């Protein structure tokens, strides 16, 4: 059974391998059924280790850099990290790299995984955007780090927003709606239902990313718990998907 969905919009460039795992193909028991890849959610450690072996074997990846996610606006430069994040867990919510075959990963179960590909440099980034990260512009900060480190320009990037909770299922407080409207415009909500996807797209377009260069997954994680994990729909007891991106060409 295929353990992940490829991000075809990015892989079509031939520059990267990118995807997001589903909940299928692993050995974890309920409520982490089946392919939970996160160690921090209470799942059996041996099951997680087996799930990672299954994923790495199927994906062809051999390692992974990731961070201890804290719902922040902090970005890590994986090229300056001496050991993989499977061994070291720096606190951040996004990673960037311009190195060949350095896979970057973040975990989600409703939050928006944001994949960034600079097709010219080339360089990559990946960000974890919940409502806090979206409000503090983690996606924009990731692109800013790529610009500072690698000379990335927004106009040269392709961005994909992966499966995540969508407006149909994401009811929040009026206070939070007001904060988002102030920063990202009135089209980010319907009543108290918030679109994190639209808020992220709006902020990316503000810095010059063409609308045609942004793609958004149609999958709502809360609607499709048959495929994905959802922290909200499963009342906080569930696993995590792994979103990953790796640069396959040398710059």
Average pLDDT over residues 196-221: 97
pLDDT of the residue at 88: 56
Residue 87, pLDDT > 70, answer: no
pLDDT, one tens digit per residue, over 103-131 is 999 999 999 999 999 999 999 999 999 99
The vertex-167 CA angle with 163 and 168, nearest 5°, equals 95
Residue 216, pLDDT > 70, answer: yes
23 Cβ contact list (under 8 Å, min separation 6): 33, 34, 35, 36, 225, 227, 228, 229, 239, 241
Identify the domain containing residue 16 by its residue range.
4-247
Q: What is the CATH number of the domain that holds 135?
A: 3.60.140.10
pLDDT, one tens digit per residue, over 62-86 is 889 989 899 999 999 998 865 554 4
pLDDT, one tens digit per residue, over 162-197 is 999 999 999 999 999 999 999 999 999 999 999 999
Please give the tally of structural domains in the chain. Answer: 1
CA distance 10 to 151: 20
């Amino acid at each position: 059974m295929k353990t992940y969905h490829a991000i075809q919009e990015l892989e079509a460039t031939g520059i990267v391998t990118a995807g997001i795992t589903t909940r299928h193909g692993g050995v974890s028991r309920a409520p982490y059924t089946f392919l939970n890849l996160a160690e921090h959610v209470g799942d059996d450690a041996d099951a997680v280790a087996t799930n990672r072996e299954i994923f790495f074997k199927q994906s062809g990846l051999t390692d992974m850099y990731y961070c201890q996610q804290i719902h922040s606006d902090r970005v890590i430069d994986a090229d300056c990290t001496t050991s993989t994040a499977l061994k070291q867990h720096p606190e951040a919510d996004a990673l960037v790299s311009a190195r060949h075959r350095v896979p970057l990963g973040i975990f989600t179960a409703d939050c928006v995984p944001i994949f960034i590909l600079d097709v010219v440099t080339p360089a990559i980034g990946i960000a974890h955007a919940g409502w806090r990260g979206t409000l503090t512009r983690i996606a924009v900060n990731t692109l800013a780090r790529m610009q500072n480190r690698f000379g990335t320009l927004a106009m040269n990037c392709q961005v994909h927003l992966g499966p995540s909770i969508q407006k149909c299922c994401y009811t929040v407080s009026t206070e939070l709606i007001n904060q988002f409207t102030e920063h990202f415009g009135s089209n980010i909500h319907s009543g108290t239902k918030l679109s994190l996807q639209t808020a992220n797209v709006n902020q990316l377009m503000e810095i010059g990313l063409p609308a045609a260069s942004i793609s958004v997954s149609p999958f709502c994680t809360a609607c499709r718990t048959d495929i994905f994990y959802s922290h909200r729909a499963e009342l906080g007891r569930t696993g995590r998907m792994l979103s990953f991106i790796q640069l396959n060409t040398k710059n």
